[in-house]
Amino acid sequence: MIWDPGFLDYDFGPHHPFTERSRAFAVSLLDACGFFEPSSGGRRIGPVLPASRAALEGFHTRGYLDRLEEISWDPRGRALDGGDTPAFPGCYEASARIVGGTLACLHAIQAGEVDHALNPAGGLHHAHPSGASGFCILNDLAVTLRQALDGPDRYARVAYLDIDAHHGDGVMFGFYEDGRVLDIDIHQDGRTLFPGTGFPAESGKGDGAGLKVNLPLPAGAGDEAVLPLFDRVVPPLLREFRPGLIVLQTGVDAHAGDPLAHLQYTLAGYRQLVGRVHSLAHELCEGRLLQTGGGGYLAENVSRVLAATASDMAGRSVYRRAGQPLPASWRADFESVFGYPSPRHWEDGVPLSRSPWRKESEEDLVHRLEESLGVRFPDPGTPSDQR
């Protein structure tokens, strides 16, 4: 777990929906459960230095970085994009520190210090080479992918999986013609959600043709849609690609009840998704798995999902049974910071609306994907060892 209190400096103000405080409470929840004790399998690494200018220029343009540095000194209420991503004093360094955290995850894996590493503050997948977008000032994932492919101890191929409700457009278009990156993105349909991209026909170009895999889900879909679809599509693609590293963006805004998106995953669904990626990492690339956070606009969801999935990956799950209460000290801190009642248990019942997903929905999406990628996916019911 990479964490630095300086990550909290990435702050758009009290009325903005994105806050790193939610991610900080994932770390404090693990701490309250004893996850970082020597016998528990978790390790916290910090402090974190901001990413160097040279590392940032591996993805972002010099002109944008120059402008960002200037605005960082004198924001004057300016926005960095159409208005969703306001500038704030010190925004350059705060953003670069989050990038530094995701790079630190990569370096720990490359050095053989750990198999798995998580930067809960990362996952800022919308930023483009020449600009901010969607609450993302710098793209920590894209900078890290570039370093993983072109830096020391490079990998020949890297797989990027994104389960945020919003399509990871900055990453996909940043590597759209790169045949070394398999990008699989499961998200809410872009016709109903920002950024309006991520359709099956957007499948890559040049060397990257057929390696950008978009799985848009209708608003209201949940575990019943994403888990069978993942099992049918993701394992065969990863096994064919044989990555040296898997990078997972774990946006929690696909969780039921999120105010900015309309999917209905549950904590159990997230744990199963991350667990499947974890197993594939051990099968295909000696366990090398770099995980980040991402979207998510309810602190109670973000903190529990990131804490539970991180401890699952370490083989020391802090959530072991239904109805297990959350630590009282953590609940008190949560209520003090956020000003409303904390969740009482790891998985409180979440009211779910009727899902629009049907078996024919899966068949239609898989058919469109097969046409775009020029591949054939296994039929439902095929044993997992034959996928």
> Distance of alpha carbon 55 from its chain centroid, rounded?
20
Task: State both tokens at 324.
Answer: 């297990």
What is residue 121's three-state secondary structure? coil
**Helical H segments across the chain, by residue range:** 21-32, 53-56, 62-73, 91-110, 140-150, 169-174, 223-241, 267-284, 299-313, 328-338, 359-373
The yes-or-no answer on residue 126 being catalytic is yes
Residue with tokens 């894996």: 109
What is residue 246's three-state secondary structure? strand
Catalytic residue, candidates 60, 107, 126, 278: 126
| Residue 336: CB atoms within 10 Å | 9
CA 164 to CA 237: how far, in whole Å? 19
Nearest to 163 by CA among 280, 286, 279, 291: 291
- Active-site positions? 126
